[in-house]
Structure 1
Amino acid sequence: MFLLYVIIPIGQSIWISFYDWDGLGAAKWIGLRNYIDLLDDDSFYTSLKNNVWWLVLYLLAIPAGLAIALFLNQTVTGIRLYKSLFFFPFVISQVVVGLIFSWFYAPDFGLLPRILGFFTGSETAILADERYATFGIIAAGLWPQIAYCMILYLTGLNNINPEQVEAARMDNAKGFAMLWHIVIPQLRPATFIALVVTVIGALRSFDLVSIMTAGGPYGSTRVLSYFMYEQSLSEYGTAMGYGAAIAVVLFAIMLVFISLFITRMLMQERNG
């Protein structure tokens, strides 16, 4: 199954990237031409820059998820209700998240423009402004991603060794010292999984871009996955070879991060 649905399609994508092909007719071998064209394509650099923004800002989900998990890992009145509210974004689809935030940003009836208008005197159409649109979409993506990291950390907090915590308390460790030296080291497995999933989610972001802006305005919110779709699979694009070249570049970037994560994990296991 892994060979059929993962390895072989990866090999086919790499092979197609060396052809000029519209997906229907005969494919023409052009070698590295698609990759050379990528280097001269401003849309490719815009997509790559946006992917970097996604990667950098998406990492905020990890400390935010940890903070919420620490808050929810308490025995207080109504804690189950709070957990349900924070868990809610994780169980709804990305399409629903995109629609919710599109309404939230809508200049006619959205809540955010009304708030901005109240304090600044002018409403801003977030998704129609190329300066802010990408960051608006990333904010929408952070909502469910923080919930996912929160779940991972809640699971990790339930598995913390209570003996270490008690020993630290006997040594007068509390507050930030307790968190930094006792709690966070025991949350390394959860942090590792959260980091891997967050990085991969940032690099393959597609759903929210498609739902909220379709790459606009003026192509300013494109990411590599959506740029690939535009070039090869959308109603305007039939350049399967060029789209495959974009997919190969995205795969290479993800492969670098995944290789680093796996190498680090193997080193930790050997040291352990």
Structure 2
Amino acid sequence: MLWVSLGPRHPVAVSLFIRGAAMSNTVPSSSGFWKRNQQTLAPFLFLAPGMLMFLIYVLVPIFESIWISFHDWDGLGAMTWIGFGNYAELMDDDSFYTSLYNNVIWLVLYLLSIPAGLAVALFLNQTVTGIRLYKSLFFFPFVISQVVVGLMFTWFYAPDFGLFAKLTEVLFGEQIAVLADERYVTYGIIIAGLWPQTAYCMILYLTGLNNINPEQVEAARMDGAKGLKLLWYVILPQLAPATFIAMVVTVIGSLRSFDLVSIMTAGGPYGSSQVLSYFMYEQALSEYGFRMGYGASIAVVLFLIMMVFISLFIVRMLAQERNA
């Protein structure tokens, strides 16, 4: 009535029309909780499934393992609280120090897969005849099972018919049984592990090389940079994310190197090739006895070692990002 009586061009009528339109487009204060907090809650809802899986399958088992490590338990009967008894026994166990020493060797030598993967990626990151065939050959170790890798290298090292045994016989006049010699067995298994790990690092670096800024490379070449200087000052800084992922995955892989040890030597000869992950399995789940508490204490020690290295990598990466 007021609109009709005042006319559509009257100032009061225009003001009332604008206020009415604004009120119609505004969410009333009495609207639902979801409409008022949709933008705030949406990210958490998308993250919720992943966070729930991480909680159930990662965080809960970690704390449960720590709790079990303070008990004497066979996995079936009642738990008996013994405090730090398992850890005290671990400190007096010679097999633990042998496994820890072998893990250190694994960690140091396994890191060779990172520069090896980078070198292969630089070789494959070019357009030459037959490059697809070369890429397929280098991808092959990454897609096959660790069990298959272990069997292949077991036959490779085997006396009498193994290729490596034949080569050592030709070169040195006698065969070297790598997997039966306490001096060489750990190094032989590590070489087998380096084959697929190098392929994994190569894939990471190939992905990183495809995302390199070509303008920076061209500018560096115009300034006279080439060869190792171009690689060190221009290309490698842009590959830092790939290097970080390769470092973390390689360190974790070296510390939980269970598959190859189990397939190739089962910790032998005389426990000389044991690592912490296999030692944990042997104590907790093998025919030697179901000592779940003792195995959990080994798992906790292995977890703490992993956390130290990963924390150092993360701190260093954050420091580099702040200085960049």
| TM-score bucket of the superposed structures, by smaller chain | over 0.9
Determine the structure 2 residue equivalent to 1:127.
179
Aligned to 2:294: 242
Residue 305 of structure 2: aligned partner: 253
1:110, CA displacement in angstroms? 0.6
Opposite residue 238 of structure 1, the aligned amino acid is F
SS for the counterpart of 1:26 is coil
2:102 aligned residue: 50
Q: CA distance change for structure 1 residues 133 and 57 in 2, over 3 Å: closer, same or farther? A: same
CA distance in 2 between counterparts of 1:225 and 1:237 reads 16
Runs of 4+ deviating beyond 6 Å: none
Instruction: Tell whether 2:246 aligns with 1:194.
Output: yes
In 2, the alpha carbon distance for the partners of 1:119 and 1:266 equals 50
The residue aligned with 2:226 is 174
Amino acid at match of 1:84: S
Q: Secondary structure, in 3 states, of the residue corresponding to 1:22?
A: coil
- CA deviation profile, 1:218-241 (whole Å, cap 9, x unmatched): 000000000000000112221111
Matched, 1:139 2:195: no
Paired position in structure 1 for 2:284: 232
Larger radius of gyration: 2
Deviation at 1:195, TM superposition (A): 0.5
Q: Does 1:104 align with 2:153?
A: no
Structure 2 letter corresponding to 1:105: Y
Matches within 5 A, 1:44-123: 44-123=96-175
Distance 2:221 2:55 in 1: 52
Aligned residue-pair number: 272
User: Which segment drifts farther, 63-72 or 180-189?
Assistant: 180-189
Residue by residue, what CA displacement relative to the aligned partner does 1:77-122 show, whole Å, maximum 9, x if unpaired?
1111000001100000100100010010001211001001000000
What is residue 162 of structure 1 aligned with on the other side?
Answer: 214
Does the alignment pair 1:222 with 2:268? no
- The Cα of 1:266 is off from its aligned counterpart by 3.0
Structure 1 residue runs without a partner (length 5+): none
Aligned residues: CA RMSD: 1.0
Q: Distance in 2 between matches of 1:152 and 1:9?
A: 30
Aligned partner letter, 2:319: M
Residue 88 of structure 2 corresponds to residue 16 of structure 1: no
Shift of 1:260: 1.6
Q: Compute the displacement of 1:271 (Å).
A: 4.0
Tell me, in whole angstroms, the C-alpha distance in 2 between the residues paired with 1:201 and 1:158: 26
Tell me which amino acid in the other structure corresponds to 1:163.
E
Unaligned runs of 5+ in 2: 1-52
Q: Please, what TM-score do these two structures have when normalized by structure 1?
A: 0.98
